[in-house]
Amino acid sequence: MSVDLSRRQFLSASAALGGGLLISFRTGAAHTAESAAGAAFTPNAFIRIGSDGQIVLTMPYVEMGQGTYTSIPMLIAEELEVDLKQVRLEHAPPNEKLYGNPLLGGIQATGNSNAIRASWQPLRQAGATARTMLVSAAAKRWNVDPASCRAQSGEVRHAPTGRRLKYGELAAEAASMPVPESVVLKRPGEFKLIGTPAKRLDTPSKVNGTAVYGIDARPPGVKIATLAQSPVFGGRVKSVDDSKAKAVKAVRQIVRLDDAVAVVADHMGAAKKGLAALVIEWDDGP
């Protein structure tokens, strides 16, 4: 099946460090909106292939138990002809313009069971485009017809001569190749990964404790706060004795609000200990 793909839908560039291939794309809905406005085309997700052959997918969706961190990489791996374990994920930074979900009105969010539907076409196109450019780079180096080359297991092979080159060896050259006007996506009967059982890529890190969750994020200088709120709706803080809370090591500040009191500390342990040390009198209202 041939899929028409505008050059404005795919941008290629050298990776910032070490040489590599960067393929980026925007989903159709967002692309249509920006094209109509005459704005420059900006991708909302990326494939990066470094000189080490590692495929990096910038992931715009969140894993919430639905298997997104495995199913989305399968789309890329399928068209790139690589093992699923060769795809590494990087979280997309906050940026609705680049990473908005077109099926949720363009907001950067995961929900409504639409991550696969939103990614099915553009991610496979991104993978197929990267594959085509890698094959073209190998054919140019060997001075042969690209039709005599094929991608397989993370490398490009030339069957008539038995020559082969790994993706990492071709990344820098592929980055300088022209982006194809159209790419051929695999037919369902050609799928090797899609539709097959796969071990979840995020299971090992969740079992051995190395997985990083939102609560683990610690930007430089960040503090932790705990909060005591009025036990009744509409209640207010009448008085606060925070002397013991301030004496807790690593507690930095006590913040009094109309209906709550917050304890700010260097870490969760101190924040919880400081909160327990507060003596608050509440005004429950009439």
- CA nearest neighbour of 60 among 80, 38, 75: 75
Q: In CATH, what number is assigned to the domain containing residue 64?
A: 3.30.365.10
Determine how β-strand 55-59 pairs with β-strand 87-91. Answer: parallel
Regarding whether 227 and 158 lie in a shared domain, the answer is no
For residue 243, the enclosing domain spans 219-283
- CA nearest neighbour of 152 among 192, 120, 179: 192
- CA nearest neighbour of 98 among 24, 171, 193: 24
- So what's the pLDDT on residue 176? 83
Regarding whether 100 and 53 lie in a shared domain, the answer is yes
pLDDT by residue for the chain (286 residues), tens only, comes to 333 334 333 333 333 334 455 555 444 333 332 333 332 222 234 788 888 888 889 888 888 888 999 999 999 999 999 999 999 998 888 888 878 888 988 888 888 889 999 889 888 988 898 899 899 999 999 999 999 999 999 999 999 999 999 999 998 888 888 888 888 999 999 999 999 999 999 999 999 999 888 778 788 999 999 999 999 999 999 999 999 999 999 999 999 999 999 999 999 999 999 999 999 999 998 7
Regarding whether 231 and 113 lie in a shared domain, the answer is no
Among 208, 243, 275, the domain-final residue is: 208
213 part of a folded domain: no
Regarding whether 182 and 134 lie in a shared domain, the answer is yes
Regarding whether 278 and 141 lie in a shared domain, the answer is no
Regarding whether 54 and 172 lie in a shared domain, the answer is yes
- So what's the pLDDT on residue 24? 52
Regarding whether 227 and 118 lie in a shared domain, the answer is no
Cα–Cα distance, 34 to 31 (Å, whole number): 5
Q: In CATH, what number is assigned to the domain containing residue 237?
A: 3.90.1170.50
75 part of a folded domain: yes
SS3 119: helix
Regarding whether 240 and 202 lie in a shared domain, the answer is no
235 part of a folded domain: yes
Q: Could you give the number of structural domains in the chain?
A: 2
Regarding whether 120 and 261 lie in a shared domain, the answer is no
Among 187, 208, 229, the domain-final residue is: 208
